[in-house]
């Protein structure tokens, strides 16, 4: 009886094992077997193209080739390495090591030109084959380089839009399957299976390349004329926060990137408008004025009315800290003035008064609504948070300085979006670079503007816009004035800090402006880092914005406002 039970037990184990191998493990074993007896030649998907909002091609593809080898099929590896190395630009010893490896297939080179492949074919070396590949080509070279970004040697996005939307752009590779013997040699009468590649989807950006090129030229000129460390610009549509242009200079040619010098490449490919922060200085006064106007309309008795006349004293003392105006107030300059006049004159003490009068809780509420200390949510990786003293730690002397743009740091994008919301009626949208993307079957996915929050009311916005028009018409921003057009804006000149103190002779000059003032459609923020000689934003940055606006007027054929 025990013998029968033992036999039965063993028989059950065998049956269970067969069931496991054939049913449960079977599919995996089939895959392993197929992998041993089948080889693949990749069919590379064409990467999706990138266009501007008007359909101009920004990034496309040029057909090149990838060269592969089946080492087991190559009889004379020395000869193969000797002949192939100079054609592929590879070291002969390293190439021979690849051919002597244990892999059934190895990639010898990517993005090889057609003529090189034709030369390889004439060598008639068994075990060498090729397939179509893609080389990325950028239509405008260095224009928009930090935004578009780069792809790696194998076609994957490694920076910028190329990286952010890599899954959309890259598609899905296909393959050619064929059977081999156990050592990897192709068998006679082998069956070949072709699996099509699915090309990547095309992307359309919000960028207007005409405006981009105009901004590039203006920024390039101010960079060289002032000997600046760097210069940047962002142009956006305040009605929906479409990014129309984004410039960082110096730049580099996307078609000839310095890939062998990663330090230089990383520096030049950095999108400083999005990823770097700076102390904005007087351009920040737009936000302080907006908060004051809205609180006045709300009935807050601590706020100052548009007709209130501020004390004309040059200094304010807060927590033992003396805050001065940039002007010496001599000969009655900056004497008693209204909020509009304080904006015209960019008088620091007036904005110190506003910040302190509103108080930490109220003022910080507006800073939060304007997106300070937080990301905007733009579809671009590496966006900086900015820097804002935590509300629980801020002192009166800190609050006083924040009022006129010190003791606070922003990205160019943050400030541009904040000001855009202040002049467009109070609507803060999520800024974006993608307008739409489309697949090969014609399906188009459109981006819809996302309203993030409301900053101020339409009435407060209209009052602020009128004051900022005055800054350009008769205040510090007159070099951005364009006859016949309603332009508003604000200048900024900020000292730079190093090692905890003011860096002597180092400034950031800026100007933020918009037009038409009655219905803003174009807003530009110009930032010039460490200009040499004249450094005031009114003299350095405002003329750049004017140049960009004049080009937009010409490009879009915008008639005068009267």
Q: Which two tokens stand for residue 436?
A: 């739409």
Number of neighbours of residue 160 by Cβ within 10 angstroms: 25
* Window from 75-79, 184-188, 355-359, 470-474 with minimum mean pLDDT: 184-188
Question: Greater confidence, 505 or 205?
Answer: 205
pTM, two decimals, is 0.86
Write down the pLDDT at residue 192: 60
pLDDT at 404 over 80: yes
Q: Taking all residues of the chain, what is their mean pLDDT, rounded to a whole number?
A: 88
| Per-residue pLDDT tens digits for 370-397 | 999 999 999 999 999 999 999 999 999 9
Distances (CA, A) of 487 to 184, 272, 482: 72, 26, 7
Q: Which residue has the tokens 């816009």?
A: 465
**CA–CA separation, 456 vs 288, rounded Å?**
12
Q: What angle do CA 180, 186, 190 make, to 5 degrees?
A: 80
Distances (CA, A) of 42 to 24, 95, 111: 30, 21, 14
Q: Is 75 helix (H, G, I), strand (E, B) or coil?
A: coil
Radius of gyration of the chain (CA): 32
First to last CA, the chain: 112
Write down the pLDDT at residue 5: 63
Closest CA to 426 of 301, 318, 294, 296: 294
Catalytic residue among 282, 346, 538, 547: 282
Instruction: Assign 182 a pLDDT band (cuts: 50, 70, 90).
Output: very low
| Per-residue pLDDT tens digits for 45-103 | 889 999 999 999 999 998 888 888 888 778 888 888 888 888 888 888 888 888 887 77
Question: Greater confidence, 500 or 252?
Answer: 252
The CATH number of 40-61+133-204, from 3.20.20.140, 3.40.50.2300, 3.90.1310.10, 3.90.1560.10, is 3.90.1310.10
pLDDT at 186 over 60: no
Write down the pLDDT at residue 19: 58
Span 284-307, average pLDDT? 97
Beta-bridged to residue 434, according to DSSP, are: 205
Instruction: Assign 37 a pLDDT band (cuts: 50, 70, 90).
Output: very low
pLDDT at 215 over 90: yes
DSSP state letters, 323-351 = EE-SS--GGGTT-SB-HHHHHHHT-HHHH
Domain ranges of the chain: 40-61+133-204, 209-556
**CA–CA separation, 108 vs 117, rounded Å?**
12
Q: How far is CA 199 from the centre of its chain?
A: 24
Write down the pLDDT at residue 501: 73
Strand ranges for 215-294 from DSSP E: 230-237, 242-249
Instruction: Assign 344 a pLDDT band (cuts: 50, 70, 90).
Output: very high
pLDDT > 90: what percent of the chain?
A: 62
pLDDT at 29 over 50: no
User: Taking each helix axis from N to C terminus, what angle separates 542-556 and 209-226, rounded to the nearest 10 degrees?
Assistant: 150
Beta-bridged to residue 523, according to DSSP, are: 236, 514
Which CATH code is given to the segment(s) 209-556?
3.40.710.10
According to DSSP H, which parts of 371-457 are helical?
A: 396-402, 412-423
> Is 282 a catalytic site residue?
yes
* Window from 18-32, 97-111, 406-420 with minimum mean pLDDT: 18-32
pLDDT at 23 over 70: no
Spatial contact of 212 and 244, defined as CB atoms under 8 Å apart:
yes
pLDDT at 32 over 50: no
Q: What angle do CA 404, 485, 455 make, to 5 degrees?
A: 40
Write down the pLDDT at residue 155: 84
35-66 burial, b for 16+ CB within 10 Å, e for fewer?
A: eeeebbbbebbbbbbbbbbeebebbbbeebbb
């Amino acid at each position: 009886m025990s013998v029968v039970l033992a036999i039965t037990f063993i028989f059950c184990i065998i049956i269970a094992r067969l069931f496991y191998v054939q049913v449960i493990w079977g599919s995996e074993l089939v895959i392993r077997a197929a992998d041993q007896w089948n080889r693949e030649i990749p069919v590379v998907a064409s990467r999706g193209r990138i266009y501007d909002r008007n359909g101009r091609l920004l990034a496309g593809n040029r057909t090149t080739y990838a060269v592969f080898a089946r080492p087991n099929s190559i009889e004379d590896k020395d000869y193969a390495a000797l002949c192939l190395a100079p054609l592929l630009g590879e070291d002969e010893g390293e190439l021979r090591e690849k051919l002597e490896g244990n892999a059934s297939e190895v990639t010898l080179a990517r993005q090889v030109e057609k003529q090189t492949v034709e030369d390889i074919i004439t060598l008639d070396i068994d075990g060498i084959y090729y397939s179509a590949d893609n080389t990325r080509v950028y239509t405008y070279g260095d224009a928009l380089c930090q935004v578009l970004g780069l792809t790696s040697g194998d076609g994957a996005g490694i920076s910028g839009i190329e990286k952010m939307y890599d899954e959309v752009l890259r598609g899905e590779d296909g393959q050619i399957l064929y059977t081999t013997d156990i050592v990897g040699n192709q068998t006679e009468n082998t069956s070949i299976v072709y699996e099509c590649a699915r090309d990547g989807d095309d992307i359309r950006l919000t960028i207007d390349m005409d405006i981009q090129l105009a901004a590039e030229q203006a920024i390039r000129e101010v960079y060289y004329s002032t000997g600046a460390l760097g210069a940047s610009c962002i142009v956006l549509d305040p009605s929906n926060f479409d990014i129309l242009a984004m410039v960082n200079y110096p730049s580099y040619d996307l078609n000839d990137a310095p890939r062998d010098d990663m330090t230089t490449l990383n520096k030049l490919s950095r999108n400083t408008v999005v990823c770097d922060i700076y102390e904005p200085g007087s351009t920040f006064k737009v936000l302080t004025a907006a908060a004051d106007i809205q609180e006045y309309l709300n009935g807050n008795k601590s706020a100052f009315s548009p007709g209130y006349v501020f004390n004309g004293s040059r200094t304010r003392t807060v927590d033992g800290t003396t805050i001065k105006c940039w002007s010496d107030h001599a000969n009655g300059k900056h004497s008693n003035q209204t909020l509009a006049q304080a904006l015209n004159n960019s008088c620091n003490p007036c904005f110190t008064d506003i910040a302190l009068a509103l108080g930490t809780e109220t003022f910080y509420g507006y800073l939060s609504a304007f997106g300070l200390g937080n990301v905007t949510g733009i579809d671009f990786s590496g966006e900086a948070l900015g820097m804002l003293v935590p509300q629980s730690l801020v002192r009166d002397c800190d609050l006083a300085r924040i009022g006129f743009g010190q003791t606070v740091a922003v990205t160019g994008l943050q400030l541009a979006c904040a000001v855009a919301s202040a002049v467009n009626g109070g609507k803060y949208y999520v800024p974006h670079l993608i307008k739409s993307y489309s697949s090969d079957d014609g399906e188009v996915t459109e981006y819809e503007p996302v309203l993030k929050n409301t900053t101020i009311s339409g009435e407060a916005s209209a009052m602020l816009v009128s004051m900022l028009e005055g800054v350009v018409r008769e205040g510090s921003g007159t070099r951005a004035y364009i006859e016949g057009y309603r332009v508003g804006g604000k200048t900024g000149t900020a000292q730079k800090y190093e090692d905890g103190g003011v860096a002597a002779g180092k400034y950031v000059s800026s100007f933020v402006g918009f037009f038409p003032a009655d219905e803003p459609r174009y807003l530009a923020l110009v930032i010039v880092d460490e200009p040499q000689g004249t450094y005031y934003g009114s003299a350095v940055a405002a003329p750049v914005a004017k140049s960009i606006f004049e080009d937009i007027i010409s490009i879009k054929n915008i008639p005068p406002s009267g």
